[in-house]
Amino acid sequence: MEQKRYGHFDDQHREYVITDPQTPWPWINYLGNEDFFSLISNTAGGYSFYKDAKFRRITRYRYNNVPMDNGGRYFYIKDGDTVWNPGWKPCKTPLDFYECRHGMSYTRITGCKNGVEASVLFFVPLKKWCEVQKLTLRNTTKESKQLKLFSFEEWCLWNAATDMENFQRNFSTGEVEIEGSTIYHKTEYRERRNHYAFYHVNTEIQGFDTDRETFVGLYNEFADPQAVMEGKPRNSHAHGWSPIASHYIEVTLQPGEAKDFVFLLGYIENEQDKKFAAPQVINKEKAHALIAQLDTTEKVDKAFAELCEYWDALLNIYKVKTGNDKLDRMVNIWNQYQCMVTFNFSRSASFFESGVGRGMGFRDSNQDLVGFVHQIPPRARQRIIDIASTQFPDGGCHHQYQPLTKRGNNDIGGGFNDDPCWLIFGTVAYIKETGDFSILDEMVPFDNQPGSEVTLFEHLKISMDHVINNLGPHMLPLIGRADWNDCLNLNCFSWDPNESFQTTENVSEGTKAESLMIAGLFVVTGKDYVALCRKIGKDAEADCMQQAVDAMVEAVKKHGWDGEWYLRAYDFYGRKIGSNECDEAKIFIESQGWCTMAEIGAEEGLVAKSLDSCKKYLECEHGMVLNNPAFSKYIYEYGEISSYPEGYKENAGIFCHNNPWVIIGECLAGRGNDAWSHYAKILPSYVEEKYQTLHKVEPYVNCQMVAGKDAFKPGEGKNSWLTGTAAWMWYTVSEFILGIKPDYDGIRIDPCLPETATDYVVSRKFREAEYEITIHPNGQQKGVKQIVLDGQKVDGTVIPYAPGKHTVEVTM
């Protein structure tokens, strides 16, 4: 059934256009690419931070609020007795026109009311620590207009966690300075902080406010701030309580006239000995310099053009033309864009991740890497070094690290035994893309301890060793706290509701709990590791690890096969999990995905049976569920997975992240029709068409979880944006479906397509080369018959790398 639609894609501009502000959930976008970041909803809600959403939160945001998305950068326009906002909220005055265009690292929100058009362009310029808000007011009537314009931002007292709780202190620390049209936020600057923020506008102001209570009124709301409703700023100066920044500007517009205002939200750091210009007065030199770079419409337009060029270049590296708009727009625009966002944010800050709980995940960041390594290899390189630096000498890892300090922390526990393998996964992807083997010689510390450095290659080796040194009774990998499934807590027993499943004591000492997911992951990354060793002439190491891989394959065939599918695990007591013998959760997706990707037992038919079982037991209208049947009760020995109600999250939700694993399994098995049908089910552009209302979350990106078939509301999406799904969808479609796979010596071409696929062209920049690859599927799902490179037939399926421009014709 077709559902109500709230927007549509505009592929030409690479935008999603929202035409109704009352979306089923806030539909957000991300601004910023390196240090300064913002989240912005379709009604301009959200917040900004510098590098770390926990420790350097610049503006305040209240999660899970009523109404939902409350607080942001708001412009209030008072036109006679009517007060309205371009993004509809917070006043919610009905608009004559509303449109929000989310683009590549920018958002443009336009509202019209009583003949006035207000359009705001939000973006973070490249390499600058600020958010630009360019507001254009236009009078479309035949009368002149006298408007009162109020801006609004609320400062966060920097540490987003303590900002929400330590009120006995917070209400006395807030400090600001006002200088001309700039409001400075300097709470705690007098002591240890060397940073401040500012909110500026490039015009003279006729008033301001910096104290929230004075501006809003204790019994009013963002929807009706007293100062705005009365059209009178208070010129308040915040001392403690809650500092804000609001400019007041009187605007006269002649008929047809338009005026631009450039607002800047900036962040500055000063050296310790240059903090003050005078006692108690901050040194504003750097702020003045930043403002001077962006104080006119022309300068802002230029910065915006640079941002657009940056994205043009990024999206020019891999482009496909299939003639199927839904596929092309995801591959060419939105999937790649989401990959960049997840790379930047890992799982730290979204409208579902509060920015205080989680930093950069070890496994998450390695996976995110395959999503963007083709676009900005140098940052991928740095990311690999940063991640590896948090590893321990025995190969185990900090499960996450803080972006500001790059130090590992234990906030969500440690001892996840899949973690080390992901380092191999990420590093191999980097080298295949770039040909840069020198990364293997980089000296990388353990746990960030200076003096402990060994080569990155050593880190890879101990990652392999960590698995081999932690095998259980069936010679399968011990699971530790958990594997990829954070919630399958086989060694962490808890009856205490005040305990977090992620950090509750791990009784893994003496445990037998083993994971088939890690077994498959080890075989896949182990084969990669062996190939890498051979490539760099470490044959003895390659031979040795090949044996370990072979042994793992045997262990899986012997102890990991249940008859129709791969088992999921053995529990603490050595009992089977994910077996037909179990009452519930007889089959799990993760081990089907990884063991089919590893092609374990392919000759004996295990892969095909496993894939068929996924279709039979896991697949539903909205994708494949994680396990089936869902757990209907809490199982003390299994932990968090059984704590979720049926159909949600790790308990039989459609965890989009792991659907691509099975899809790749299908591709390797050559089953293109099945691969495609699984893929299309979770492809946002297909969901967008049918299920905007049901799905709720942004229709232009994947979400972590869609409620599964056992849920109260199957098809409802949650946890949008920050999910490994982005990178896995990209990896799957770019390398396995469309079949363009970077390799050490060139590009391997091996598509797996539905039999209905027609000819398509991929243009791919690769190192110093550019390939224009035309594929003629000829109704085949798999199998390259012939490759012609620049008019010459090529042996095998790898087009050898050579700098320059090339054309490639592929016949299947």
Residue nearest to ligand NOJ (CB): 486
The residue (of 73 and 363) whose beta carbon lies closer to ligand NOJ is: 363
d(C-alpha 8, C-alpha 338), whole Å: 17
Provide the Cα torsion 157, 160, 164, 166; round to 10°.
Answer: -60
Q: For residue 782, give the DSSP letter.
A: B
Residue 32: left (phi > 0), alpha (psi -120 to 50), or beta? left
The residue (of 345 and 561) whose beta carbon lies closer to ligand NOJ is: 345
Q: Are 572 and 639 in contact (CB under 8 A)?
A: no
The distance of closest approach from Cβ of residue 686 to ligand BGC in the complex, given in angstroms and rounded to an integer, is 24
The residue (of 502 and 627) whose beta carbon lies closer to ligand BGC is: 502
Among ligand NOJ, ligand BGC, none, partner that 571 touches (CB below 5 to 8 angstroms by kind)? none
DSSP-assigned beta bridge partners for residue 103 = 106
> Which amino acid is present at 683?
L
Among ligand BGC, ligand NOJ, none, partner that 412 touches (CB below 5 to 8 angstroms by kind)? ligand BGC
Among ligand BGC, ligand NOJ, none, partner that 375 touches (CB below 5 to 8 angstroms by kind)? none
Residue nearest to ligand BGC (CB): 486
Among ligand NOJ, ligand BGC, none, partner that 24 touches (CB below 5 to 8 angstroms by kind)? none
CA angle, 195 then 198 then 200, to 5°: 160
The residue (of 729 and 775) whose beta carbon lies closer to ligand BGC is: 729
| 61: its two tokens | 């945001």
Q: Are 356 and 802 in contact (CB under 8 A)?
A: no
The distance of closest approach from Cβ of residue 401 to ligand NOJ in the complex, given in angstroms and rounded to an integer, is 14
The distance of closest approach from Cβ of residue 409 to ligand BGC in the complex, given in angstroms and rounded to an integer, is 13
Q: Which residues contact 218 (CB under 8 A, 6 or more apart)?
A: none
- One of 412, 424, 697, 722 touching ligand BGC (CB under 6 A): 412
Q: How far is CA 692 from CA 44, 69, 468, 682, in A?
A: 21, 19, 46, 13
> Which amino acid is present at 453?
E
Among ligand NOJ, ligand BGC, none, partner that 361 touches (CB below 5 to 8 angstroms by kind)? ligand NOJ
Q: Of 521, 517, 729, 707, which Cα lies nearest the Cα of 625?
A: 707
The number of residues making up the chain comes to 812
The residue (of 84 and 362) whose beta carbon lies closer to ligand NOJ is: 362
Q: Which residues contact 399 (CB under 8 A, 6 or more apart)?
A: 361, 362, 363, 408, 410, 412, 413, 414, 415, 416, 419
Among ligand BGC, ligand NOJ, none, partner that 145 touches (CB below 5 to 8 angstroms by kind)? none
d(C-alpha 10, C-alpha 333), whole Å: 11
Q: Of 131, 58, 128, 349, which Cα lies nearest the Cα of 120?
A: 131
The residue (of 90 and 653) whose beta carbon lies closer to ligand NOJ is: 653
The residue (of 53 and 607) whose beta carbon lies closer to ligand NOJ is: 53
Instruction: Tell me whether strands 281-282 and 654-655 are parallel, antiparallel or unpaired.
Output: unpaired
336-365 residues near ligand BGC, rule: CB under 6 A = 358
Q: Are 211 and 242 in contact (CB under 8 A)?
A: yes
Beta strands, E only, 490-614: 514-515, 569-570, 576-577, 587-588
The distance of closest approach from Cβ of residue 70 to ligand NOJ in the complex, given in angstroms and rounded to an integer, is 26
The distance of closest approach from Cβ of residue 482 to ligand BGC in the complex, given in angstroms and rounded to an integer, is 9
The residue (of 16 and 352) whose beta carbon lies closer to ligand NOJ is: 352
DSSP-assigned beta bridge partners for residue 360 = 401
Among ligand NOJ, ligand BGC, none, partner that 485 touches (CB below 5 to 8 angstroms by kind)? ligand NOJ
The distance of closest approach from Cβ of residue 161 to ligand NOJ in the complex, given in angstroms and rounded to an integer, is 19
415-444 residues near ligand BGC, rule: CB under 6 A = none
Among ligand BGC, ligand NOJ, none, partner that 363 touches (CB below 5 to 8 angstroms by kind)? ligand NOJ
Q: Is the dihedral of CA 191, 196, 199, 203 positive or negative?
A: positive
| 17: its two tokens | 């256009």
Cβ atoms < 10 Å from Cβ of 3: 13
Residue 417 three-state SS: coil
Q: Tokens 């510098």 — which residue? A: 50
The residue (of 435 and 724) whose beta carbon lies closer to ligand BGC is: 724
Q: Tokens 């960049």 — which residue? A: 340
The residue (of 332 and 402) whose beta carbon lies closer to ligand BGC is: 402
The residue (of 201 and 662) whose beta carbon lies closer to ligand NOJ is: 662
The residue (of 18 and 589) whose beta carbon lies closer to ligand NOJ is: 589
Is position 664 an interface residue for ligand BGC (rule: CB under 6 A)?
Answer: no
- Kindly name the residue from 486, 562, 571, 674 that is annotated as catalytic: 486
The residue (of 521 and 548) whose beta carbon lies closer to ligand NOJ is: 521
Among ligand NOJ, ligand BGC, none, partner that 502 touches (CB below 5 to 8 angstroms by kind)? ligand BGC
d(C-alpha 538, C-alpha 427), whole Å: 17
| 453: its two tokens | 């450095």
d(C-alpha 478, C-alpha 502), whole Å: 17
x/- binding map, residues 452-491, to ligand BGC, per CB under 6 A?
Answer: ----------------------------------xx----
Which stretches of the chain bind ligand NOJ, using CB under 6 A?
Answer: 347, 361, 363-364, 484-487, 650
- One of 502, 591, 685, 720 touching ligand BGC (CB under 6 A): 502
Residue 638: left (phi > 0), alpha (psi -120 to 50), or beta? alpha
Among ligand BGC, ligand NOJ, none, partner that 471 touches (CB below 5 to 8 angstroms by kind)? none
The helix (H) or strand (E) run that includes residue 387 is: helix 377-388
Q: Are 715 and 691 in contact (CB under 8 A)?
A: yes
Q: How far is CA 715 from CA 84, 372, 690, 692, 707, in A?
A: 35, 28, 11, 10, 5
Q: Tokens 């006395």 — which residue? A: 172
The distance of closest approach from Cβ of residue 363 to ligand NOJ in the complex, given in angstroms and rounded to an integer, is 5
Is residue 224 annotated as part of the catalytic site, yes or no? no
Among ligand BGC, ligand NOJ, none, partner that 731 touches (CB below 5 to 8 angstroms by kind)? none
Q: Tokens 């209030």 — which residue? A: 76
The distance of closest approach from Cβ of residue 447 to ligand NOJ in the complex, given in angstroms and rounded to an integer, is 20
The distance of closest approach from Cβ of residue 412 to ligand BGC in the complex, given in angstroms and rounded to an integer, is 5
The distance of closest approach from Cβ of residue 362 to ligand NOJ in the complex, given in angstroms and rounded to an integer, is 9
The distance of closest approach from Cβ of residue 106 to ligand NOJ in the complex, given in angstroms and rounded to an integer, is 27
Q: How far is CA 340 from CA 25, 306, 312, 430, 667, in A?
A: 23, 18, 14, 15, 25
Total number of residues binding ligand BGC (CB under 6 A)? 8
- One of 650, 688, 716, 735 touching ligand BGC (CB under 6 A): 650
620-649 residues near ligand BGC, rule: CB under 6 A = 640, 649
Q: Which residues contact 629 (CB under 8 A, 6 or more apart)?
A: 584, 585, 586, 652, 710
Among ligand NOJ, ligand BGC, none, partner that 251 touches (CB below 5 to 8 angstroms by kind)? none
The distance of closest approach from Cβ of residue 647 to ligand BGC in the complex, given in angstroms and rounded to an integer, is 14
Q: For residue 76, give the DSSP letter.
A: E
Among ligand BGC, ligand NOJ, none, partner that 484 touches (CB below 5 to 8 angstroms by kind)? ligand NOJ
The distance of closest approach from Cβ of residue 21 to ligand NOJ in the complex, given in angstroms and rounded to an integer, is 30
For ligand BGC, the binding residues (CB under 6 A) are: 358, 412, 486-487, 502, 640, 649-650
Residues designated as active site: 486
